[in-house]
Amino acid sequence: MKKLLMVVLLASTVTAMAGKTSLVSDDSNAPWRMALKPEFQFSQLEGKFAGLAGVQLGPQLNETLYFGVGIYGLVNNIKGDNTPANDLSALDFWYGGFVADYTFFSDKLIHGSINALIGGGKVSPAGSDSVNVFVATPGISLMVNLTKQIELGVGAGYRFVAGADQPSDSDLSKPFASVFLRLNESY
């Protein structure tokens, strides 16, 4: 009977101590944390490959609800179809705004989230003045906990753009795929 009681006690202790599953463990259980999410997005602009680099920063609550700000910018040169070959100017596009993210099953090794960025930005066609635009990017993500503070993820979403003239809203409103790290720090 003592052995059975000891096994039950040990099993319940291990279960009570179980928490977030990660590839490497540590001891952080603070309800409020700060999150930093560097991200690279793969997309198209004006029918050409576009790489956008960005970062999101903000607080999170209980490893589930994230909110903050994010900013993204085009990192490769995209020339318009009517741009002469010797013209070095290229499309410039950046945007930023408020970010919200809800993560499902964050205590599991592999988990997912739904997220959105709503804000504004600027688009400057090659050799033209910039135009202010509205941007909204709803998306989904799949992540793996590398440690309790670091998650590696992939995502997919759609970038809605309104207010652009040349290139048009439809040239800028495109689906995207992304790869990112989410770094979570307790405080």
Residue 28's CATH number: 2.40.160.20
User: Cα separation of 35 and 140, whole Å?
Assistant: 17
The predicted-structure confidence for 151-181, as pLDDT tens digits, reads as follows: 999 999 999 999 888 788 888 899 999 999 9
Q: How many domains is the chain built from?
A: 1
Tell me the residue type at 25. S
The pair of three-digit structure tokens given for residue 13, joined into one six-digit string: 């202790």
Facing residues of 151 across strands?
A: 145, 182
- How many other C-beta atoms are found inside a 10 Å radius of the C-beta of residue 120? 15
pLDDT for residue 82: 60
pLDDT < 50 regions, the chain:
1-2, 4-19, 23-27
Tally of helices (H runs) and strands (E runs) in the chain: 2, 8
- The reported pLDDT for the residue numbered 47 is 82
Domain containing 167 equals 2-186
